[in-house]
Amino acid sequence: DAKTTQPPSMDCAEGRAANLPCNHSTISGNEYVYWYRQIHSQGPQYIIHGLKNNETNEMASLIITEDRKSSTLILPHATLRDTAVYYCIVRSSGGGADGLTFGKGTHLIIQP
């Protein structure tokens, strides 16, 4: 699976959009971009994933660049409960049988 690079930490004001970047320049054609987050002392929570088209669900939007070498997770109206470590993970389709490789992620802190 391709390696990802994320900033170690970010701040965002409550109520504003939080934009979390992820670089995955070595991604290959059949690899998806997944986002999870981990609130302190809890298990990771699935947020969203995508292949090449932008995706949106009730939690967030995922914007993938046309060359697929980077992506941005957008939390449209951040709340204090969105403070967590966010992980961007790249893995191949059909990889349901494979474990996930977690990097250090981005520690997003929502400021009141």
Which positions lie near other proteins, rule CB under 8 A?
A: 32, 34, 36, 38, 41-46, 49, 87, 91, 93-105
- The residue among 81 and 97 lying less far from other proteins, judged by its C-beta, is 97
Q: Give the nearest distance from C-beta 87 to other proteins in angstroms.
A: 8
- The residue among 45 and 79 lying less far from other proteins, judged by its C-beta, is 45
- The Cα–Cα gap between 41 and 91 comes to 25
C-alpha torsion angle, residues 90, 96, 99, 104 (rounded to 10): 30
Q: Give the nearest distance from C-beta 13 to other proteins in angstroms.
A: 26
Kindly report the CA angle at 49 between 47 and 55, in degrees rounded to 5? Answer: 95
Radius of gyration of the chain (CA): 13
- The residue among 13 and 100 lying less far from other proteins, judged by its C-beta, is 100
